[in-house]
Structure 1
Amino acid sequence: MTDGSPDPFAPAQLGPVRLRNRIIKAATSEGRSPHGLVTDDLIDFHRSFAAGGVGMTTVAYCCVSPEGASAPGQIVMNAEALPGLRRLTDAVHEHGAAISAQLGHAGVVAQKKLTGVTAVAPSRFVNPTSFAYCREIRRDEIRAVIDQFGAAAQVAVDAGFDAVELHFGHLYLPSSFLSPLINRRRDEYGGDIDNRSRFVREIAQRVREVVGDRIAVIAKLDMDDGLPGSIWIDEALRTAQLLDADATLDALELTQGSSVYKPMYLFRGDVPVREFAKVMPPALRPAVRLAGKRAMGSYPYEDLYMLSAARQFVPLMHNTELILLGGITNRDHLETGMREGFAFAAMGRALLREPDLVNRMLADPGARSRCNHNNKCMVTVFGRTHCVLDPDQRYGAAAAITAAPATS
Structure 2
Amino acid sequence: MPPSADSARTAHTPSEEQAPKAGPDHVPDLLKPARLGPLTLRNRVIKAATFEGATPGALVSDDLVDYHRRPAAGGVGMTTVAYCAVAAEGRTERDQIHMRPEALPGLRRLTDAVHAEGAAISAQIGHAGPVADARSNGLPALAPSRLLSRISFRCARSATKDDIARIVRAHASAARTAVDAGFDAVEIHLGHNYFASAFLSPRLNRRKDEYGGSLANRAKVARAVARAVRDEVGSAIAVTAKLTMDDGVGGGIWLDESLRTAAWLEEDGSVDALQLTAGSSLLNPMYLFRGGAPVREFAAAFPQPQRFGIRMLSKKFLRAYPYQEAYLLDSARQFRAALSLPLILLGGIADRATAERAMAEGFEFVAMARALLREPDLVRRFAEDRAAGRPTRSLCIHCNRCMPTIYSGTRCVLVDPLPPASANR
| TM-score, L = length of structure 1 | 0.94
Which residue number corresponds to residue 336 of structure 1?
Answer: 357
From 173, 177, 180, the counterpart of 1:155 = 177
Amino acid in structure 2 at the alignment position of 1:104: G
Alignment pair present for 1:242 and 2:264: yes
**How far 1:130 sits from its partner (Å)?**
4.5
Amino acid in structure 2 at the alignment position of 1:330: D
d(CA) in 2 for partners of 1:9, 1:183? 42
d(CA) in 1 for partners of 2:378, 2:117? 15
The residue matched to 2:156 in structure 1 has which SS?
strand
From 92, 104, 123, the counterpart of 1:101 = 123
Would the alpha carbon gap of residues 288 and 87 (structure 1) be closer, same or farther in structure 2, given more than 3 Å must change? Answer: closer
Q: Structure 2 stretches of 5 or more lacking a match?
A: 1-21
Which residue number corresponds to residue 383 of structure 2?
Answer: 362
d(CA) in 2 for partners of 1:255, 1:86? 28
Deviates more, 1:15-24 or 1:287-296: 287-296
Amino acid in structure 2 at the alignment position of 1:335: E
d(CA) in 1 for partners of 2:122, 2:66? 16
Instruction: Tell me the alpha carbon deviations over residues 71-126 of structure 1, each in whole angstroms, 9 at most, x when there is no partner.
Output: 23111111111111111111101111000000010110112222222211112222
Instruction: Tell me the alpha carbon deviations over residues 375-398 of structure 1, each in whole angstroms, 9 at most, x when there is no partner.
Output: 01011012111000113xx34x63
Report the aligned-residue RMSD: 1.8
Which residue number corresponds to residue 346 of structure 1?
Answer: 367
Would the alpha carbon gap of residues 85 and 129 (structure 1) be closer, same or farther in structure 2, given more than 3 Å must change? Answer: closer
Alignment pair present for 1:279 and 2:304: no
d(CA) in 1 for partners of 2:398, 2:280? 19
Which residue number corresponds to residue 232 of structure 2?
Answer: 210
Superposed, 1:8-19 pairs within 5 Å as 8-19=30-41
**How far 1:402 sits from its partner (Å)?**
4.6
Amino acid in structure 2 at the alignment position of 1:225: D
CA contact 1:129–1:261 (8 Å) conserved in 2: no
CA contact 2:59–2:106 (8 Å) conserved in 1: yes
- How many matched pairs? 399
Superposed, 1:259-274 pairs within 5 Å as 259-274=281-296
Q: Structure 1 stretches of 5 or more lacking a match?
A: 404-408
Amino acid in structure 1 at the alignment position of 2:95: G
Deviates more, 1:30-39 or 1:155-164: 30-39
Would the alpha carbon gap of residues 291 and 239 (structure 1) be closer, same or farther in structure 2, given more than 3 Å must change? Answer: closer
Amino acid in structure 2 at the alignment position of 1:60: A
Would the alpha carbon gap of residues 278 and 119 (structure 1) be closer, same or farther in structure 2, given more than 3 Å must change? Answer: closer
Would the alpha carbon gap of residues 197 and 275 (structure 1) be closer, same or farther in structure 2, given more than 3 Å must change? Answer: same
Deviates more, 1:181-190 or 1:89-98: 181-190
Aligned-residue sequence identity (percent) comes to: 55
Superposed, 1:7-406 pairs within 5 Å as 7-128=29-150, 130-281=152-303, 288-289=310-311, 292-318=314-340, 320-365=341-386, 366-391=391-416, 394-395=417-418, 398-402=420-424
d(CA) in 1 for partners of 2:305, 2:199? 35
**How far 1:141 sits from its partner (Å)?**
1.3
| TM-score, L = length of structure 2 | 0.90
**How far 1:280 sits from its partner (Å)?**
3.8
CA contact 1:56–1:97 (8 Å) conserved in 2: yes
d(CA) in 1 for partners of 2:103, 2:307? 36
Which residue number corresponds to residue 406 of structure 1?
Answer: none
